[in-house]
Structures are given as C-alpha cells and as structure tokens.
Chains A and B, each alone.
Chain A
Amino acid sequence: MKQKLAVLGMVCPFPLIEAKEAMESLKSGDELEIDFDCTQATESIPRWAAEAGHKITNFVQLTDASWSITVQKK
C-alpha cells in the first residue's frame, strides 16, 4: 500500500514531524510518498529514515526547490 503525504508549502521542521506521525499509522512494508519544498528536509528526512531503519525507495528533485521522497516502513 502506498500513502501520499502532501506537505508542500509547510515550513521546516513540519514536513519531518508530519512524516514521523504518518509513519506510525502505517504497516510494515507500506510506502509513504512525501512531497515537500523545505530545503532542510532534503537532509533531515533521509537521515531520520536511515536512522530509524526505514528504506528509501525513491528520492528525486521535482522542480526548483521541491522534492519527492518515498520511504518504505521497515
């Protein structure tokens, strides 16, 4: 199952906080696609995912200052 989290327009650190919360409601193996445009999160979201042991299945820059990352729950 893939869930989408639209946090475009949210300022840091809210995208990360939202992602952590959304992750809690997911089951193992589910994916969370996060679209965001706060620059800090390009570092903070992958770092959080890596340290929590989740897998990153996709990470791309969409346009100027906007990115999309997909995290699979461990």
Chain B
Amino acid sequence: MYLTKDNRMFYALLIAISVQSIGVFALIQMGLIQFQAGEFNWLATILGSFIFGIGIILAGGCATGTWYRAGEGLIGSWIALFGYMGMSAVMKSGALSPVNNSLKGISTPTNSIPATFGLSVWPFIALLALITIFLVVKQLRKPKVFIPSLPPKRKGLNHLLFEKRWHPFVTAILVGLVALLAWPLSEATGRMSGLGITTPSANILQYLVTGDGDKYLNWGVFLVLGIFLGSFIAAKGSREFRFRAPDAKTAVSSFSGGILMGFGASWAGGCSIGNGLVMTAMMTWQGWVSLFFMILGTWAASYFVYVRPRASAKKKAAVYQTTTA
C-alpha cells in the first residue's frame, strides 16, 4: 500500500472501521456489551506504533498478515511470528515488563474522543461514515481498467470461494462484521474486548511455557489459531500453499521485524488490528493516533529499506557506466 501509493486499502480499512463502529455502539446503547475507554498513554502509543510500523516493513506484513502468511507456508513468516510472540511475552510478563510499564504513567485522563469534547459518540460516527462514503463513491466512480486474471478453472461456489478475487470493499464489510461479532462473542466467554492479535499471540507462548491454561487460554488464542488454520485451508484450496524458505537475509530481517512488532505493539497497547481496526472504531485517541504513527513508521522504514538502497544502487550503476564509457 505504502509503496504502490494505493489508497484502496486505506479506504477498505475505513469501511471496516465504520461498519464495526456503528454496530458496536448500537450494542452498547442497547446495554448488550460494556466498554471503558480508560486513559490514553500517549507517549507509549506514539513510540510503540512507530516502532510497530517499522517492524511491519521488515517482517513483510503486520501481525495478522504474518499469521496468515504462516498458514500459506512461508517459513519467513514463521520466523517473524516467533520473534513477535516471544517479544510480546517478554514485554507483557517477562524481563522487559518494567520497560513496558515505564511509559504508561505518561497519560491523559480520558482516551475517548467524544468524552474529551463532552459530546455523544454518534456525531463522530456519522462524520466517519460520511467521509468513508464520500471516498468510496469517489473511488468507485473512477474509470475502471480491465485487469487480466487467470483463466477460471472451477465453477460455482468453488470458484467463488477459492478462485475469484473478492473486491477489497466487500471484504472490508465482512471484516467489519467479524470485528463487530468479536465483541459479543468474546464477551460471552468473559473477555471484555474486541478483536485482538498481540495479546493472544503472547498468550500462546505464555501458556506453552507456564502450562497455566486458566490464565492464558482464552477466546483470543483460539481466534489467532483460527486465522492460521483458515488461511491454510484457503491457501490449500486455491492451490496457493507451498513451503517456501527465505534466504538468510530475509530470514534475519523477518526475525528483527517480528521483534520490533512485538515490542511496539506491547507499548502501543495494540497492533494494526487492536489499535488500527478496533480502537479506532471505539472512537479513542489511542486508535487514531496509533494508526497515524503506524503509517508514518511504515513510510519511514520503506524509505530506508526499499527506496534508498535502490536509488543508491542506481547511482552506482550510473557512475560505473560513465567511467567505463
């Protein structure tokens, strides 16, 4: 997205946030679920999200992306995942928990954007929905280019599920609905939050190491295992599964990316899902500030990882040509 300057994925994210936001606040209004925004640890959120963004680029995908790529058989993502789970566990309950808590004191009392202005949440949701609709309509009105695709080899439901590419906006609505469903479903098991990736990922490792299932096995753990399993089935079904091993350089960069993501997400209190999709929908400062700095982090990192090395390689090649000419 950041490299190709493609805005469609950002619009898709806005759709998913809007769908979820409307749904969750309707459920809250009906008294079906509870939500406390808490306080806003702004310094930890800003720094953590920026570091998380850098990690995304090095690992070649965000936390969720790493889970499903692992399901597609990419060994590099297994390595990134291991670094990510390890580092989050170290931050949350291990040797680095003092570091994790060090910035938590620097906060503003309220995390909720409407509460800051003393308003109801609905005007903010309406504003978000309007902006989203405006951008989506503008995007859909653009003249379409014909994009060639692979010749279909299957028919009916099989083609629809495993072959046809879904429009990102349709997928976004589905993601929004899943994120919305996550609230009542996890609440039913006594877990008072929405979709999350980081804490559950850490929980798996914490459970495996301590054996304390009561404390660490929860709705979220089964959710991330479900992502892994689901992407495996989808990839296998669409003939996109194969074990693919990275070269040494990619492996090292995946591992460090995973570690940075684990570190950043723990500080920021969420990853691209927890903050970028869920906390944004809850209309919290944490969600939107985090989303902004995550994007900034990925921009900064892609400049240093992709743009600059290539520009300097080109320059060298040009110099070489002029000297030999």
Which of A11, A48, A50, A66 makes the CB contact (< 8 A) with B250?
Answer: A11
Interface size on B, residues (CB 8 A): 25
Distance in Å: Cβ of A12 to nearest Cβ of chain B: 7
Residue in contact with A51 in the complex, picked from B73, B145, B242, B306, CB distance below 8 Å: B145
Q: A11-B250, A39-B72, A50-B147 are in contact. Are A16 and B239 (CB under 8 A)?
A: no
Q: Is the CB of B73 within 8 A of A50?
A: no
Interface size for chain A: under 10, 10 to 19, 20 to 34, or 35 or more residues?
20 to 34
Give the residue name and chain of the A residue nearest to B149 (CB).
A46
Contact string, B1-29, partner A, CB cutoff 8 A, digits 1/0? 00110000000000000000000000000
Query: Is A3 in the interface zone, CB < 8 Å from B?
Result: no
Separation in Å of the A28 CB from the closest CB of chain B?
A: 19
Chain B 141-166 against A: per-residue CB contact (8 Å), 1 yes, 0 no? Answer: 00001111110000000000000010
Write the nearest CB–CB distance from B90 to chain A, whole angstroms: 26
Q: Is the CB of B3 within 8 A of A17?
A: yes
Does A1 touch B at the CB level, under 8 Å? no
What residues of chain B lie closer than 8 Å to A21, measured between beta carbons?
310
Which residue from chain A places its CB closest to the CB of B1 in the assembled complex? A13
Contact, CB under 8 Å: A65 / B149: no
A37-B244 contact in complex given A46-B147, A59-B148, C-beta closer than 8 Å: yes
Q: How far is the CA of A65 from the CA of B74 in the complex (A)?
A: 11
The 8 Å CB contact of A65, one of B73, B76, B145, B165, is: B73
Main secondary structure on B side of the interface with A: loop
Tell me if B247 is interfacial: C-beta within 8 Å of chain A: yes
Find out whether the CB atom of A56 lies under 8 angstroms from the CB atom of B148: yes
Whether B239 lies near A61 (C-beta < 8 A) is yes
A60 within 8 A of B: yes
* B72, B148, B149, B150 interface centre (most CB from chain A within 10 Å): B148
- Among B188-213, those with CB < 8 Å from A are none
Q: 0/1 per residue, A38-74, Cβ < 8 Å to B?
A: 0100111011111100001001110111110000000
Residue ID in chain B nearest A16 by CB atoms: B4
Chain A residues near B (Cβ < 8 Å): 9, 11-13, 16-17, 21, 37, 39, 42-44, 46-51, 56, 59-61, 63-67
Extra A-B contacts (4), CB below 8 Å, given A65-B244, A67-B150 = A13-B4, A49-B148, A64-B242, A65-B239
Question: Could you pull out 24 A-B pairs where Cβ atoms are within 8 angstroms?
Answer: A9-B244, A9-B247, A11-B60, A17-B3, A21-B310, A37-B242, A37-B244, A39-B72, A39-B240, A42-B150, A46-B148, A47-B147, A48-B4, A50-B147, A50-B148, A51-B145, A59-B150, A60-B150, A64-B239, A64-B240, A64-B242, A65-B72, A65-B241, A65-B244
